[in-house]
């Protein structure tokens, strides 16, 4: 028997949600000319340099049924390769092996990237067509994460958009004096243990597994 799920806040709020794009636009002023004009279809010298400074990129994808996913990718600054003004490649360092992002790309051929530079408020959005490549001559160029990856996510750029820094400034993301104390949040091991719902495991088991995973993170 399929369990009956309790109604959530979303179920209530969606009843009178904004019904269409025209209604949504009426709730806001029109964007400035600059906000529209700075969208481009290829990289400039400056946006190439931003990608070269980025050590963290968030990858947004969707599967064939419309289920969304956002996953982080990290490495030393410049780990994302700029192949030309319309193409970038992200090496796939071994993670949890679920392949959520890569399977979505194979299914839909689309992805969105948000490049982040630690300590700086600038972010760069890059959206476009995407594919997964295992071509050896490409992978041999992508060794910033330790060795050639098993595959690379290749993005053919349709949109390049530099965001204003307001979100990161508001968040205080790079201001240690605004950070919460370490004990204000559950640890990664505590979150994982609750998610696994396996009573035979302990916090110690999860912490050991996490430590070993980080130790061999490039394998």
Q: Name the CATH superfamily housing domain 35-170.
A: Electron Transport, Fmn-binding Protein; Chain A (2.30.110.10)
The per-residue pLDDT for range 53-68, each reduced to its tens digit, is 999 999 999 999 999 9
94 confidence band (pLDDT: 50, 70, 90): confident
Residue 219 clears pLDDT 60, i.e. is over it: no
- The answer on pLDDT for 2 being more than 70 is no
Residue 214 confidence class, pLDDT cut points 50, 70, 90? confident
Question: What is the 3-class SS of the chain, one letter each residue?
Answer: CCCCCCCCHHHHHHHHCCCCHHHHHHCCCCCCHHHHHCCECCCCHHHHHHHHHCCEEEEEEECCCCCEEEEEEECCCCCCEEEECCEEEEECCCCCCCCHHHHHHHHHCEEEEEEECCCCCCEEEEEEEEEEECCHHHHCCCCCCCCCCCCEEEEEEEEEEEECCHHHHHHCCCCHHHCCCHHHCCCHHHHHHHHHCCCCCCHHHHHHHHHHHHHCCCC
Domain residue ranges in the chain:
35-170, 180-215
Per-residue confidence (pLDDT) for residue 202, from 0 to 100: 94
- Give me the mean pLDDT over the 63-76 stretch: 96
pLDDT of residue 146: 78
pTM of the full predicted structure? Answer: 0.90
Contacts of 147 (CB under 8 A, 6+ apart): 218
Mean pLDDT over residues 1-25, rounded? 87
């Amino acid at each position: 028997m399929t369990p009956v799920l309790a109604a959530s806040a979303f179920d209530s709020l969606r009843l009178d949600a904004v019904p269409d794009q025209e209604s949504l636009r009426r709730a806001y002023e029109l964007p400035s000319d600059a906000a529209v004009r700075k969208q481009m279809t290829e990289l400039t010298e400056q946006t190439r340099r931003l990608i070269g400074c980025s050590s963290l990129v968030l990858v947004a994808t969707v599967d064939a049924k419309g289920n969304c996913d956002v996953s982080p990718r990290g490495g030393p600054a410049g780990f994302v390769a700029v192949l030309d003004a319309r193409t970038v490649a992200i090496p796939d360092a071994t993670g949890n092996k679920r392949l959520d992002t890569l399977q979505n790309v194979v299914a839909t051929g689309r992805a969105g990237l948000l490049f982040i530079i630690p300590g700086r408020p600038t972010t760069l959005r890059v959206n476009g067509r995407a594919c997964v490549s295992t071509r050896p001559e490409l992978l041999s160029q992508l060794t910033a994460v330790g060795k050639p990856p098993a595959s690379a996510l290749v993005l053919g750029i349709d949109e390049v958009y530099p965001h204003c820094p307001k979100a990161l400034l508001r968040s205080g993301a790079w201001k240690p004096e605004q950070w919460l104390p370490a004990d204000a949040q559950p640890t990664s091991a505590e979150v994982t243990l609750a998610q696994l719902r396996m009573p035979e495991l302990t916090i110690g088991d999860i912490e050991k597994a996490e430590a070993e995973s980080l130790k061999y993170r490039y394998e």
